[in-house]
Every structure is written in C-alpha cells, then in structure tokens.
Amino acid sequence: MMRPGPLLLAGLMAIALSAAPVRASTFDIFGFTARDVGLGDAMTAATRGYGALYYNPAALGVDKQQRIGVGMALTLPSLYVDRANAESDRPTISPDAHLGFHLGWVKPIPGIFEQKLALGVSVYLPADRLVRVQGDDPQSPQFYLYQNLEDKLLIHVGASVEPLEWLSFGLGVQILADLGGTVALDMNVVSGSFERADVSVALSPTASLLAGVLVRPAAGVSVGLSYRGESALQFSLPVTVREGEALSLAIDVSQTVLWTPHQLSLGMAWQLDDPRLLLALDATFALWSRAPDPSPRLAVDVGGRLLDAFGLADALDLSTRSVPIAMGFSDTVVARVGAEWEVSDHVVLRGGYFFRPTPAPRQTGVTAYLDNDAHVIGLGAGFSFLHPFRSSETVVQLDLAAQMTLLPRRTIVRGDPRDPVGDLSHGGAVWTFSATLSHGY
C-alpha cells in the first residue's frame, strides 16, 4: 500500500506557501509620513517632500529642496468580535500589531531644468516580512481592512514638472510584485521518498499609475487633484506530484490579494500669514464596488493510468469553488480636514480628522468580512533644527504623530440558527504612532 506521507507533504507545502488576505494600502488606512498622519491625510493640496509620491506627485518639486527622510509607523489594533455562538467551529481572526519603516528621497533637477523638474522615490518595508499572502476561510470573522495590512513591500517612484509658476503636473507608479511559481515532485512509492524535487518561486513587479495636478491660483492657495490606480497581487502556485505515469496529484492554489481600489482625490489648502496657519480640505472617491473575491481557491486533480483503469479519474477531484464570491461592496467618499500651526520658527502643531464610511455590507451571507465606519483623529508636532554637521542653510525636521481610528459597534443578525458563524457584533479602535526624520537642503 502506498504510504500517505509524500502526498500529505505536498498538500501541506501548497497550503503553507499561501499564507491573511490584505486589502487596500497601509497608506490608504493610516497615512504615510508623520506629517501626513498628523494632518488627517488631508494632503492632496498640502503634501510636501516624498509623501507627495503617494498623495499627489505633482507636489514633488514645490519646496525646491532636495530632501532625504526615514520614518517608522507602529500600529496597535484593539478590536473585538462578540459572538452569540461561542462554540462555533469558525474561529475569529484578529489583526496583529505591526511595525514598518519607510525611506524616501526627492531631488529637484538644477541646470537647464531650473528646478522645474523633480524626481522622487520611496520604499516601505514591513519589519517582519516583505510580502505575506495568507488565505483565511471567508466564513471566519475577520476585519477586512485591517487584517495583516502592512505585510507588503511598497515602492513608489515619481516625477513632477512645473511648466508655469502656478501649475505643476506629476506622474508616478506604485510597485508591488506578483508571486507565482511551480512545485514538481517525482515520488518513489517503494522507498516513500522523492526522487526529484523542483521548486520555483518568482516575484515579478506589477505597477499601478499615480498621477496628479497642483494649481496655485493665488498667493497661499493651492488646489490639487490626484489619481491612484487599482492594484493587486495575483498569487498562484501549482504543485504536481507524480509516481511515474501510474499516479499523479496536482494541487493548484490561487488568490487575489493586496488589492487597492481606484481612487480620485480633490483637495484645497490655504496658507495664512497671521497667524501662520495652514488649513487643508480633502475628499477621496474610492471605487470599492470592484473589490474582488479575496478568498483562496484550491483545486485538487488526482489522475494517472492507475485511476483511469478503474474509471476513477474524476471521482477524486476537489475544488473549493468555481464561481467567485460576490462581495457586494459600495463605492465610498472620504472627507478629510487638517490644520498646521507654526507656533515658532522651530515648532509646528498639527491636527486632523476624517470619516471613512465602510464599503462592506452587513455580513449576513456566506462571508464574514467585517468592517465598520471609522472616525479617525490625528495629532502631531514638528520640530526643526539646524544640521549639526552642515551649513546653516540645511535643516533637519523631526515629525511625530499619533492617530486613533475609532470603529463604532456594528451588530449583525444572521438569523439562521444553523449558521456556523452566528450573530455577532464588532468594533474597537486602532492606534497608530508615527515618526519621520528628514533632512532638506
């Protein structure tokens, strides 16, 4: 009799290499630099430095300064799911705390371009892993927007051009990586070992468009418009196990993860001289109605001459589903407001607020992708001082920020006593702490 060890090992390998579905970008939910977080992400017209790579690449050259910066963000979720059925076999999946780091660089080009052309690049690095792809049971209660949100490497590259003193255009790309590969195993039934094992896993870059316009119609007034394109990581890993031509096992794991919707943002900013106060307003439209099914798809095909001889070629095949789940999400509009007060030449205080309506319907069907409306409050401060080892024209900026995302309680009555999930309520808060150190010259 054939021992099950090799087949079991192959199946476990396929499942282990898929690892929680992540939706939206960490910058969409929590902001980019500490200044952005402190201003409530109302940055389409008020962004500066390498944060412009995400919010509006047209603003990359506004400061006419070369700027290098590094930063970190710590996210601490405190979310709950209260369930009526405490004995359900569908476990609650809660988001973990995350730590991530980012670095960026912006360079206005002198010479014949007269600093009317600027280039920029930024990289976000999760502390634990560069990319995590996890397939959770769609019936297990899980927070759709917050589950392992920061477990992905993000790269932004962009450029801006200023054809007129009051007008700038910008283009950029956000880069992810498609994850795929193959696993081929030739098995020896007699010895219970693999005679040959070929494993290939590849990361290929995939890019989505970033674009923006910045208009300065009057002194101290800016109007910005930006677009961020939809992006996703398509994960696929077929595993094939063969015992000559007698028996074969093909396992295909695939999933669409790290999905971000199309977004269009309009913003206005006013810089007052007395008091030295910046006011910013933003509105962002997000096309959540296109959200794909993030659940993993698993297909198992058992074949070979041995099964063909008994007419069992299709009898042992398995598949999780052939038709994707209809998510039923709704498009959203997020309104933001932020203020920045220059207390002195060296100290700046910031505050911001936005309301993010949930795109997710109440999960009364086959899925349990939980989400809540969110009230988000950001507070921050900036401190500037002269660089200790350079000329007096170079300034170092330290920005600190804290953000509270409050998710009011939402109750779901599923109604069917046979439902494996049962009635539940969910909500809580997410705390974010951010710091950025930048050097402009």
In this predicted structure, what is the pLDDT of residue 50? 94
Number of H helices, E strands in the chain: 5, 20
The burial of 132, by beta-carbon neighbours within 10 Å (0-12 exposed, 13-18 middle, 19 or more buried), is given as middle
In this predicted structure, what is the pLDDT of residue 432? 96
Q: Find all residues with CB under 8 Å of 358, minimum gap 6, and list them.
A: 332, 371, 372, 373, 374, 410
**Domain extent at residue 163:** 5-440
**CA 71 – CA 33 distance, rounded (Å):** 7
Residue whose pair of structure tokens reads 């400061």 in the numeric block: 63
Return the CATH number at 68. Answer: 2.40.160.60
pLDDT tens by residue, 182-224: 555 555 555 555 555 555 556 667 788 999 999 999 999 999 9
Instruction: Please give the tally of structural domains in the chain.
Output: 1
Furthest C-alpha separation in the chain:
88
Regions of the chain where pLDDT drops below 70: 1-25, 129-136, 148-151, 177-204, 234-235, 237, 243-246, 257-258, 303-323, 387-393
Cβ atoms of 93 and 128 closer than 8 Å: no
In this predicted structure, what is the pLDDT of residue 55? 97
Residue type, 76: L
Cβ atoms of 221 and 213 closer than 8 Å: no
In this predicted structure, what is the pLDDT of residue 21? 43
Q: Find all residues with CB under 8 Å of 294, minimum gap 6, and list them.
A: 21, 23, 138, 255, 256, 257, 259, 369
pLDDT tens by residue, 291-326: 887 777 777 777 666 666 666 666 555 665 556 778
**CA 249 – CA 10 distance, rounded (Å):** 9
Q: Structure tokens of 254?
A: 């695939």
